[in-house]
Amino acid sequence: MSEFIAMTAESVSEMLTAAGAQVAARAGRTDSYGAPRDFSFEVRAVFPNGMGLHVVARQFNYRDPWEGGGRVNDLVDVSLMRDGGFSPLPKGYPFFQGEDQEEGVDAERLGEIIAVVRELNPKVYLLQELTGDL
């Protein structure tokens, strides 16, 4: 069985802050079933290169006692932001190819996405637009 890493608004914020991003987070659920929002947390981050990530954990997963305790988020949806809107990554990257959202991302893959977006030079978009690759 694969080991899961539970993610929280705080842990995702820490990952992004450690990568140099400015971060804002909010939790959307309370402990009651009557919570008004349909997500457990969301985190938005902007990197110094102007690229951003929007991380949303839509629902808690319930784990059996031998897998983990109580409600956890071990998978999130991640959207890539550029110039105030959603955007795919330029060609040549393993994420966001032809789409602006990656769904069902675990903590390890989120770390990989953060590293790619943090190091991305946004001028690659211009270059690929000029060459017709984008």
Give this prediction's pTM: 0.79
pLDDT digits (tens, 9 = 90+) for 11-27: 899 999 999 999 999 87
CA torsion sign, 94 to 15 to 7 to 3?
positive
pLDDT digits (tens, 9 = 90+) for 46-62: 999 999 999 988 765 55
